[in-house]
Amino acid sequence: MQIASEAREAGFRLIDEDVTGSTSDDARKALEAGDPGLLWVVAQMQTQGRGRHGRAWDSPKGNLFASLLLVDPCEMRHAAQFGYLVGLSLHEAICEHAPDVTDMLRLKWPNDLLFARAKVAGILLEGHRAPGGKSAIIVGIGVNVVHAPDGMPYPTARIQDFAPQIDRAMLFEALSRRLALRYTQWRASLNMPGMLARLRDEWIMRAAGLDQTVTIRLPSGPREGIFTGLDSEGRLLLATQSGIETIDAGDLYFPGHTA
């Protein structure tokens, strides 16, 4: 496994492991030990991989399991933007090696990547506190490269279904490059007027289900409506019979998926 030269020059580092419990847990341990951040942790296999809400994440050998530790990356009010930044970077990394699939590859709110409405990747953001009180973000990324899990309540796919030339090493190198470039640009322009709007517009251009009926599963129960976009804070806008609702977090499902 190799980090891209552009990422290395920007200060990013890599720990490449064979088997571990969770790359995100390893990144957290590095944080607790005083690591300054810009650290990628990648493993061939995970034995305790997890997704959102603590769900188990199937982690067979051949897929990409990577976590990125960032220490004091931004004011916490900007932290939600990072999910969109990572999603865009992952989208670009795949399309770098398979440009013909660009129109079929879509970002699903809040942090998934789909090919033809089948889940290919998931992104998990976790906030932490670094020694000394600084804030930290650990970004966990799982990509179905050669294996896709069965028995899920939604369709799944693997990258080699539509881009057999891509393997996990190629994908990670491209991802590390794309994310380093986007992160450096994002950090430099965080306080510039319109930065979030530009990032949001880029994400929406690649969004799955825009202007279509969707179901959002919330702790209070499912909500159905038309996904009309994102607000200025990156929250989902859902047009329902009672008006436009803003959704901070939840699970989005398309018609026909189990919600």
- Supply 34's token pair: 């005083």
Q: Are residues 149 and 245 in the same domain?
A: no
The model's pLDDT over 191-203, given as tens digits with 9 standing for 90+, comes to 777 777 888 899 9
In the chain, the percentage of residues whose pLDDT exceeds 90 is 62
Name the least confident of 66-80, 98-112, 114-128, 175-189.
66-80
What's the structural domain count of the chain? Answer: 2
Residue 259 lies inside a defined structural domain of this protein: no
Residue 122 lies inside a defined structural domain of this protein: yes
Q: Are residues 223 and 165 in the same domain?
A: no
Q: Are residues 180 and 115 in the same domain?
A: yes
H-only helix segments in the chain: 5-9, 23-32, 81-97, 159-162, 168-188, 195-205
Q: What is the CATH number of the domain that holds 177?
A: 3.30.930.10
For residues 214 and 254, what is the distance between their CA atoms, to the nearest angstrom? Answer: 5
pLDDT of res. 138: 95
Q: What is the CATH number of the domain that holds 233?
A: 2.30.30.100
Q: Are residues 118 and 66 in the same domain?
A: yes
Q: Are residues 15 and 77 in the same domain?
A: yes
pLDDT of res. 214: 93
229-250 average pLDDT score: 88
The residue segments making up the domain with residue 135 are: 5-205
- Supply 196's token pair: 């979030």
In the chain, the percentage of residues whose pLDDT exceeds 70 is 93
Q: Are residues 64 and 166 in the same domain?
A: yes
Name the least confident of 58-62, 181-185, 211-215, 238-242.
58-62
Residue 57 lies inside a defined structural domain of this protein: yes
Q: Are residues 180 and 230 in the same domain?
A: no
Confidence of residue 134 (pLDDT cuts 50, 70, 90): confident
Q: Are residues 157 and 229 in the same domain?
A: no
The model's pLDDT over 137-153, given as tens digits with 9 standing for 90+, comes to 999 999 999 999 888 87
Q: How many CB atoms lie within 10 A of CB 77?
A: 8
6-19 average pLDDT score: 96
Q: Are residues 37 and 81 in the same domain?
A: yes
pLDDT of res. 198: 85
Mean pLDDT, rounded, of the chain: 89
The model's pLDDT over 39-74, given as tens digits with 9 standing for 90+, comes to 999 999 988 765 554 555 556 788 999 999 999 887
Residue 258 lies inside a defined structural domain of this protein: no
Angle of helix 81-97 versus helix 168-188 axis, rounded to 10: 140
Q: Are residues 173 and 247 in the same domain?
A: no
Q: Are residues 117 and 89 in the same domain?
A: yes
Q: Are residues 233 and 128 in the same domain?
A: no
